[in-house]
Chains A and B, each alone.
Chain A
């Protein structure tokens, strides 16, 4: 085969010249990726809002943004959705904020990230955005979670907390009441599941992930235990050991919780309860709306209450929810602040509650007639949210939760006793926090 007879225009040029040309093209391509210049100003500021996937129709949020733009003709908002998993969102923010990215202005954050992002200096101080008097309108838990060293670094957007879902129809059938204590829950579940074959007693989330920590802390707190107290690690306490042992007993000794919870996150448990196959479930408020749909087998049969507690101790729910902050490196911090202010206003929160079902962080909305008419149970959520507790509010939370997730999982899957798991967690967390 002879290929070399054809001549191309460039084949006469010296090798170094072709090479240099290629390099030039390459570098200009790279340059094109890096320098993204904003279009020249026509008096309109564009800000970028990063957030996780909106439950339900994304057009609902878009409509809210259009309202904002209509009222602020000098600002345009681009909303950009991040991957659905919170871990990936955290990763996105870490990489971009550590790289001092200016590509987004407003960010929505899980309740556990704010102190971390504040300490690393990635968030703009928003203390001036909410006057002292207005802060009381918000639930205390989220306010605590967005405050770092006395300053406000985000504004609570919507709120979540762990709830106990129960089958009202089944409890009524056997003349039983929703349980006040964990022991009552066990008794009730055993009684009903004996009479109703194929029914699970109590399901919750036990996979090795953040949700597991949310679940376990509710047992710790409702037994008077804690994880961090005045900066000291107190996870290895008799109260916590008892609480964790109770959780393993739910699966083993009492047999009211199926072993499948060890791999379950929220949605699988919601599916099981939603198909009418469990008496009790611990989950977040979002499940309620789904149970009320026309085609739901449990429609009208579900009740909601605060979580049980150990005798003589108060019930405790883990606080969840999302907060809005402003990127420290934002080019348009004032416009970003105005947008945060708008999205966290009572008006916007009410719209989101009515359309998507996001629970407002402003307490007055729980007396709002429109909301109560549409979601009668919202009034009863007020008390749960009032006492909902944030996970340890510390910049080091992400370090702690890695340890807690694996040790709690070890206890639930039976590879370690609750005593050993908590002892090991105590040592590892102390070592990490004492790192410097």
Chain B
């Protein structure tokens, strides 16, 4: 009992620090989002939920929301599928296994801004290696259709390794005996995968999904460097739009509203996954 009390005291400094650096800014942003605050017009007054109401009529917001959903759904699905396949392959024993694992990590190790600049050149219509390889003259970043998919592809390339590493770790925990037992019972490869590997991997998969969905939903740096949100706002995500409203046009009230929307969405996504995680899945 005494130890518990001591423990409580020890938690206080961290709570104070956290509330200073996260809770206070969060509350302040929410407060700002209820204001009409236009620095350049010298306007600053309370407007209640007006900013939230005007979201519905803001075509650029709806467009950014749509882009964010598309980007998140497609990139996370692809990353999980590819990551799972790669993890299962890597998990077998073969020569140079260690080397392969290290090589797989390279894209993840490159700083985002650097890899975005790299992909900007890879996608270049004229000098880019992608067009050179496929012998085409596609303007990847110049057409609204290709640009968002090019951004998804870049993200898949960069973060699949992260998924692979987490899933590999999950696979290694599965005891060999289970595979052997399944074989003895006459289960085929597919049955082993769906009946043994997937169920046992489920908690790890959910953790991967939480990380990746949240990251993808808040994506900013990679796309901002790659396209700046263009062409014609076709790659403008919620975070990029919020950044432009906040720091380029100094509309602090409305920009904060956008930030709060991103926060609420990521909060909802987290709650959804954590519910799934705590429900019925345990090793």
Mark A residues whose CB is within 8 Å of B.
Answer: 15-16, 18-19, 22-23, 26, 30, 87, 90-91, 94-95, 98, 116, 119-120, 207-209, 258-260, 262-263, 268, 272, 395-396, 398-399, 402, 405-406, 409-410, 412-413, 415-416, 435-436
Contacts and interface: CB of A to CB of B under 8 A. Distances in A.
Contacts of A436: 38, 41, 43
A413 B143 contact: yes
Contacts of A23: 12-13, 16
B38 A260 contact: no
A19 B15 CA distance: 11
A208 B228 contact: yes
A90 B248 contact: yes
B8 A15 contact: yes
Which residue, of B17, B142, B244, B249, has the highest number of chain A Cβ atoms within 10 A? B142
B51 interface: no
A142 B42 CA distance: 26
B170 interface: no
Contact of B40 (A207, A395, A402, A413): A395
A414 to B, nearest CB: 8
Nearest to B9: A15
B230 A208 contact: yes
Nearest 3 A-B pairs (CB), nearest first? A208-B230, A15-B9, A262-B142
Given A15-B5, A263-B227, A415-B231, 4 more contacts: A87-B248, A209-B230, A262-B142, A399-B251
Contact of A18 (B9, B17, B39): B9
A15 B12 CA distance: 10
Interface string B221-242: 0000001111111101000000
Nearest to B247: A91
Given A262-B142, A398-B250, A435 B41 contact: yes
- Chain B interface bracket (under 10, 10 to 19, 20 to 34, 35 or more): 35 or more
Contacts of B9: 15-16, 18-19
A79 B201 CA distance: 55
Contacts of A15: 5-10
Which residue, of A90, A91, A399, has the highest number of chain B Cβ atoms within 10 A? A399
A137 to B, nearest CB: 31
A90 B247 contact: yes
A436 B231 CA distance: 30
Contacts of B12: 19, 23
A208 to B, nearest CB: 3
A262 B139 contact: yes
17 contacts: A87-B247, A94-B247, A94-B250, A116-B250, A207-B227, A263-B139, A263-B142, A402-B249, A406-B230, A406-B236, A409-B231, A410-B233, A413-B144, A413-B230, A413-B231, A413-B232, A415-B232
B79 to A, nearest CB: 25
B40 A406 contact: no
A16 B229 CA distance: 51
Interface of B: 5-10, 12-13, 16-17, 20, 38-43, 60, 124-126, 139, 141-144, 227-234, 236, 244, 247-251
B233 A409 contact: yes
B250 A260 contact: no
B57 to A, nearest CB: 11
B172 to A, nearest CB: 24
A264 to B, nearest CB: 9
Interface of A is mostly: helix
A421 to B, nearest CB: 9
A19 B41 contact: no
B36 to A, nearest CB: 8
A298 B138 CA distance: 28
A119 B247 contact: no
B230 A207 contact: yes
Contacts of A208: 227-233
A120 B40 CA distance: 6
A430 B126 CA distance: 39
B231 A412 contact: yes
A87 B230 CA distance: 15
A216 B156 CA distance: 35
B238 to A, nearest CB: 15
Nearest to A115: B40
B44 to A, nearest CB: 10
Contacts of B38: 435-436
B70 to A, nearest CB: 16
Which residue, of B12, B17, B231, B234, has the highest number of chain A Cβ atoms within 10 A? B231
A399 B142 contact: no
Contacts of A120: 39-40, 42, 250
Contacts of B17: 26
A245 B137 CA distance: 24
Nearest to A407: B232
Contacts of B41: 435-436
A120 to B, nearest CB: 6
A85 to B, nearest CB: 9
A15 B9 CA distance: 6
Contacts of A30: 20
B232 A416 contact: yes
Contacts of A409: 230-233
A288 to B, nearest CB: 22
A358 B236 CA distance: 34
A114 to B, nearest CB: 13
B231 A262 contact: yes
A120 B234 CA distance: 32
Contacts of A268: 124
A272 B126 contact: yes
Nearest to B224: A87
A26 B232 contact: no
Contacts of A399: 40, 249, 251
